[in-house]
């Protein structure tokens, strides 16, 4: 299933950034694909821009995407490619991403910093476009409630759900089951690593 002349025009995108602060961090890479089938499994058109930031890349962000400031020397700045990027989004009926709210907010922050006279404008126009977040769809189709987690990682449902005592006991069993299922308990549990990836105050 993909976009085409007989169906909606689908654009899938993802951004890599210098960090997670919308007020100061910047996009350093953006890939936009037209249609659902990617370059490895179909004929969808994809384009990637690498962008030279004017701020430092945060160490935590660089650890995720592996892009250094040196890799971006000679790349255009965001204002230089803003109009091209906006033109691709203008063709879309449906915009798709994974945890897409972050990427959209970062894009809008970039446009908001453009000069008043910039031809791309100071906001990406998404009016009338449908937004599909694959992460949210997954969460909807395969719920992540404690009951569902208990069923998957422990093997049965638990009684007295939503009493604090039952929920605490179930959470312990679920976490133990997750550690075993994902191989995070061998040779021992690395709690620093687990906290790094599961702390809700950290970005993806």
CA–CA separation, 156 vs 67, rounded Å? Answer: 43
Asked whether residue 118 is assigned to any structural domain, the reply reads yes
Polymer length of the chain: 204
pLDDT in tens, 112-129: 999 999 999 999 999 999
Q: Residue 30 is part of a domain; what is its CATH number? A: 3.30.420.10
Residue labelled with tokens 């990406």 = 124
Half-sphere exposure of 144 (CA within 13 A, CB side): 7
Asked whether residue 69 is assigned to any structural domain, the reply reads yes
| Alpha carbon separation from 164 to 160, 161, 174, 183 (Å, rounded) | 9, 8, 15, 28
> What pTM was computed for the model?
0.77
Q: What is the helix (H) or strand (E) element at residue 78, kind and residue range?
A: helix 78-90
Shared-domain flag, residues 122 and 39: yes
Asked whether residue 152 is assigned to any structural domain, the reply reads yes
pLDDT in tens, 156-196: 888 766 678 888 889 999 999 999 999 998 889 998 888 87
Shared-domain flag, residues 134 and 147: no
The last residue of a domain, from among 98, 121, 139: 139
């Amino acid at each position: 299933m993909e976009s085409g002349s007989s169906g909606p025009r689908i654009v899938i995108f993802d951004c890599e950034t210098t960090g997670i602060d919308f007020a100061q961090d910047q996009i350093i890479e953006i890939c936009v694909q037209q249609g659902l089938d990617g370059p490895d499994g179909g004929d969808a058109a994809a384009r990637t821009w690498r962008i030279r930031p004017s701020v430092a890349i945060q160490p935590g962000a660089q650890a995720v995407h592996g892009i250094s400031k040196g890799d971006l020397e000679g790349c255009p700045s965001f204002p230089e490619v803003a109009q091209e990027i906006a033109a691709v989004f203008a063709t879309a009926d449906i915009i798709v991403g994974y945890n897409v709210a972050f990427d959209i907010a970062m894009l809008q922050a970039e446009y908001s910093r453009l000069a008043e006279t910039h031809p791309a404008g100071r906001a990406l126009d998404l009016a009338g476009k449908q937004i599909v977040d694959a992460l949210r769809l997954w969460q909807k189709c395969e719920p992540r409630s404690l009951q569902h987690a208990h069923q998957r990682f422990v093997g049965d449902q638990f009684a007295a759900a939503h009493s604090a005592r039952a929920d605490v006991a179930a959470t312990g069993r679920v976490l133990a089951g997750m550690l075993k299922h994902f191989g995070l308990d061998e040779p021992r549990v690395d709690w620093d690593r687990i906290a790094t990836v599961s702390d809700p105050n950290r970005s993806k």
